[in-house]
Structure 1
Amino acid sequence: MLKINRENLKSSHQTIWLIIDFLMLGLLIANLALIIFDSVYAFSAIEGFFAEHTPGFHGLYDPIHENFLFYDLVFVSIFLTEFFVRWGYAVKASVYDRWYFYPFIHWYDLVGCIPVGSFRFLRVLRVISIIYRLHQYKIIDVTSMRAYQFVNFYYEAFMEELSDRIVLKVLSGVQQEVKRGSPLFERIQHDIVYPRKDMLTDWISQRVAQAAQEGYVPNRGALRSYLEDRVDSALKQNLELSRLKYLPVVGPTIQETLEEAVGDIVANVIHQILEDLASASNHAFIEDIINVFMPDPADARAESAANEALINLILEILDAVKAQVRVKHWREELP
């Protein structure tokens, strides 16, 4: 059942307009119910049924049916009055950039006011817009209605089925392209990626330098201490080096000197590597790595076996994605 949140209604700055929305909603529902009933009443069999079984009601409603356009125009006049009042307020409050934007944005309000044939049923759009506006202001909660949950469930089921079929069709097409040896991947590699190798090298070089500067330079002392401790612990566990301490007189001194020297060498090597990475001199190193992963196109064409393995990998990945797409999540939500 639809509930009205009176606290949000009171705290809203649009209280008057929201009350008008409720009144218009009631009038629209009544008007649409009357239109539907009159459309059904227009059948001679239905009119004859009322004339035979409920002559009092038939005598009362028959003049309304004969002059239905007049009664419908009463509703239309109310709807148009409300429309122009809202338009005037929108112009005064500068809701839109131009004063004439309002009728174009709210076109369904005007079209629904045409008292001819099927145009009348377009007033349903106005009902939907009012309900949506009330839902936006949290005056009502449409999602708590059973009708909404019922329609939304099957809408989501339909959309999932539709999107799954589209995705499966697309993935199957991609697999066929890969199996036929589509030149797409070679075009991406040779025409797009490889010509921009220098740009990629510069970008990666800058990113590595920035990461090294921000990560290493502020923690240089802590990293050096950690490396020296790790090297010292590893050397003490070394059996050959531990035997030096048994040399008479100079054994312990040699062992200690070697431990300090090795620790200092390792720390200095790591320090120099990170210093190089943190500077512009890392460009050549990064370029060598890029050349390993992105060889010259002439050499890349010779790697047919590697390309075949890559194609098989891509096909298996697409099969796994298709298997996951085939899972119907909406069926899991069925009671």
Structure 2
Amino acid sequence: MLRINRENLKASHQMTWFLIDFLMLGLLIINLTFIIWDSIYSFIAVQNLLKEYLPTAQAVYHPIHERFIFYDLAFVWIFLTEFVIRWGYSIKAKIYDRWYFYPFIHWYDLIGCIPVGSLRFLRVLRIFSIIYRLHQYKIIDFTSTRLYTFVAFYYDAFMEELSDRIVIKVLSGIQREVQSGSPLFDRIQHDILYPRREMLSNWLSARVAEAAQQGYIPNRGALRAYLEHRVDNALKQNLELSRLKYLPVVGPTIQDTLENAVGDIVANVIHQILDDLASSTNHAFIEDIVNVFLPEPKANADQDDNKEALIALISEIIEAIKTQVHVKHWRNNLP
């Protein structure tokens, strides 16, 4: 239900203008109802129907219908008077940069006052502008109404369906261009990515170091215990190493020594790699990786094979995006 917030109405210091808005809103609703009814009455079949079943009402209204333009002009006079008053106030208060901006910005108010045919229905836009202004000042809150909720839900559903179809069409076009050997792929690789190899290397180096510092250093002890446990299990399952225990006297000792040594070596190697990744010394390693993926432009068979593989990868990624776009999220909110 639509409610008027009286506290915000008083705090706005524009009560006079808002009261005029409410008055104009009521007059607009009456006027539009009058216009719609007169448009319906203009059909001969409706006039005959009223003459047959409600002859008194037809006799009373028919003279009004014949002079409808004059009754409508009374409303137009009120609307134009209010328009001129607001225009004068906007000039005095310097609401707009130029004095003549007001009629251009509020063109629907002016054109709706023309008492000709379908132009009268432009007065509906004035109703929306008044409601929006009242909502903007939090005098009313139409977003809590059932009508707004109903319209907003199906508007969002329509826009999602429309945007999904547009996005899928665009992605399908990109997919076809990539598969047909469009120069776009080469431009992205040679003109955009390749000149920025150093920037990509620096960025990836910083991100890898940050991820290693946050994920590895706090869990160094747990990772070492896990690695030693996994290596120990692997060595125990090794057939050749298990035969060492059958050696007389020194067999079990050699087996335990090898297990501990291998586990310690593996753990130390992994720790050293992660320590290097967590420090600034990882830049050369990351730079080598970037150079592998973004080599200097040159024509050779290996590069063509890599290009085909990358095109297939891009096509699969686009296909996955299209599948995700097909998901209708608005159905999850369907009552």
TM-score band, normalised by the shorter chain?
0.7 to 0.9
Does the Cα contact within 8 Å between 1:164 and 1:325 map onto a contact in 2?
yes
User: What aligned pairs does 1:25-174 form with structure 2 within 5 A after superposition?
Assistant: 25-174=25-174
User: What one-letter code is carried by the residue in structure 2 that aligns with 1:59?
Assistant: A
Does the Cα contact within 8 Å between 1:6 and 1:139 map onto a contact in 2?
yes
Distance 1:144 1:301, change over 3 A: farther
User: What one-letter code is carried by the residue in structure 2 that aligns with 1:114?
Assistant: I
Q: After superposing the two structures, state which structure 1 stretch, 300-309 or 9-18, moved more.
A: 300-309
Partner of 1:187: 187
Partner of 1:10: 10
- TM-fit CA distance, 1:122: 0.8
- For the residue of structure 2 that corresponds to 1:13, the secondary structure is coil
- TM-fit CA distance, 1:207: 11
Distance in 2 (alpha carbons) for counterparts of 1:45 and 1:173: 55
Does the Cα contact within 8 Å between 1:32 and 1:121 map onto a contact in 2?
yes
Distance in 2 (alpha carbons) for counterparts of 1:203 and 1:189: 13
Distance 1:17 1:204, change over 3 A: farther
Partner of 2:259: none
Aligned residues: 275
Does the Cα contact within 8 Å between 1:164 and 1:326 map onto a contact in 2?
yes
Distance 1:290 1:320, change over 3 A: closer
- For the residue of structure 1 that corresponds to 2:81, the secondary structure is helix
Partner of 1:201: 198
Q: How high is the sequence identity, in percent, across the aligned residues?
A: 64
User: What one-letter code is carried by the residue in structure 1 that aligns with 2:198?
Assistant: T
When the two chains are superposed, the root-mean-square deviation of aligned CA atoms in Å is 3.2
Distance in 2 (alpha carbons) for counterparts of 1:331 and 1:101: 44
- TM-fit CA distance, 1:145: 1.8
User: What one-letter code is carried by the residue in structure 1 that aligns with 2:316?
Assistant: E
Partner of 1:310: 310
Distance in 2 (alpha carbons) for counterparts of 1:322 and 1:300: 33
TM norm structure 1: 0.72
Distance in 1 (alpha carbons) for counterparts of 2:203 and 2:42: 79
- TM-fit CA distance, 1:292: 4.7
Distance in 2 (alpha carbons) for counterparts of 1:89 and 1:12: 17
Does the Cα contact within 8 Å between 1:201 and 1:286 map onto a contact in 2?
no
What residue ranges of structure 1 are gaps of 5+ in the alignment?
Answer: 216-225, 231-265
User: What one-letter code is carried by the residue in structure 1 that aligns with 2:32?
Assistant: L
Distance 1:287 1:328, change over 3 A: closer
Distance in 2 (alpha carbons) for counterparts of 1:151 and 1:18: 26
What residue ranges of structure 2 are gaps of 5+ in the alignment?
Answer: 211-216, 222-271
Distance in 1 (alpha carbons) for counterparts of 2:287 and 2:110: 66
- TM-fit CA distance, 1:162: 0.9
Distance in 1 (alpha carbons) for counterparts of 2:104 and 2:322: 44
| Structure 1 residues 7-62: Cα deviation after superposition (integer angstroms, max 9, x where no partner) | 21121122211111111000000000000001111112212222232233223222
Does the Cα contact within 8 Å between 2:201 and 2:290 map onto a contact in 1?
no
User: What one-letter code is carried by the residue in structure 2 that aligns with 1:201?
Assistant: E
Partner of 1:324: 324
Distance in 1 (alpha carbons) for counterparts of 2:16 and 2:301: 73
